[in-house]
Amino acid sequence: MKHSNILNNNGFFCCKACKKNKGHGRFCEKIKKTTLTIEHNAGFFSCCSVKLHFIVMYFNENKKLPDEVDSSKQFLLYKHSDELQNKDASFEFFEHYDTIAKEIQYIKHIGDFPHNDWSSNYKKLDYVSIQPFINKYFTPNKKIIEMRDSLIAEFGIDVKNCIGVYIRGTDKYIDTPLGSYEEYYQKIKQVIELNKQSQVLLQSDDGGFLNYIKGKDIQNLIILNKTSVSFNKTGAHFSSNNLQNYKDIQYLISIFLIISKCKYIILNSSNCSLFIMYYRGNSENVYQFSNNVWNE
């Protein structure tokens, strides 16, 4: 009988073959290799957040990492070829975790990093504890790094003298108040006053917001125009085909890496924003719009 480990409906680990679930996370003694299977499927960084959440849950429960993490049923919107359909698409964007040599040793129980951390106050995230998991499972691959470096060169981006702005709009209104375009514009103006020579790097899925900011008199404004946008309340990733989504997310990860290193960051709450913060590794000089207030 083949034994495989899956998450049950409550997010715990069990052995599907022998139907045992002792203590939530203990595995059948016959199992020699543990596989953590994650089936949540939605937008790209929602998938990433849920994946991270269950990896940390497993780590806390078992005091070690799983031997394998199977995300082959995630990221379906980004599988653009028949070859990818039954594969884990994570490795189209991130290095395989087996190539990241440094292991994560269990020392104590750490925060569970629930997948709704996207809506929390980013000033209160435990960056030190989460960083090893980001490095292990979400290190961008060589292709993404090359795209990042190419964008920096093409647009002359100086992250040490740049305000990175990321606003997640469109369908995100379902989950959280988005605020007005003017709200973000006023915050951009406020942060520019800290260094009037700053570049302003702007990224959003909301085409209306991009046009609004273009109409303002902002010096040194950089809009990359590398990803799809939406002019309605439907997310761009739901309006595009899988191939376009695949191309978009390569650029988006690259752009998020750039924004994460900017001197100042202005963003709103979303899974995308959360991963910008994880890549930054701290909340210094970050202005977060969340639930109609600014966390800064």
Q: Residue 15: how many CA atoms within 13 Å on its side-chain side?
A: 19
Same domain for 101 and 162: no
How many distinct structural domains can be found in the chain? Answer: 2
Token output for 155: 């647009």
- CB atoms closer than 10 angstroms to residue 228: 17
pLDDT at 114: 60
Strands 286-290 and 264-268: parallel
Same domain for 217 and 114: no
Residue type, 36: L
Q: Residue 235 sits in which domain range?
A: 142-295
Same domain for 222 and 110: no
In eight-state DSSP terms, residue 218 is: -
pLDDT at 119: 85
Query: In which residue ranges of the chain is pLDDT below 50?
Result: 1-30
Alpha-carbon distance of 294 to 187, in angstroms, equals: 9
- End of a domain among 95, 110, 137? 137
Same domain for 265 and 164: yes
- End of a domain among 97, 115, 137? 137
Token output for 36: 């953590």
Inter-axis angle of helices 271-280 and 44-62, nearest 10:
60
The pair phi, psi for residue 110, each rounded to 5°, is: -115, 170
pLDDT at 2: 34
- Helix ranges restricted to H, the chain: 44-62, 127-137, 142-155, 181-192, 207-214, 236-239, 242-260, 271-280
Same domain for 132 and 155: no
Same domain for 159 and 290: yes
The contacts of residue 125 (CB under 8 Å, 6+ apart) are: 117, 277, 283
Q: What sign does the dihedral 202-208-213-215 (CA atoms) show?
A: positive
Same domain for 235 and 129: no
pLDDT at 102: 81
Same domain for 60 and 130: yes
pLDDT at 31: 52
Same domain for 147 and 83: no
pLDDT at 282: 97
The pair phi, psi for residue 22, each rounded to 5°, is: -90, 115
pLDDT at 266: 98
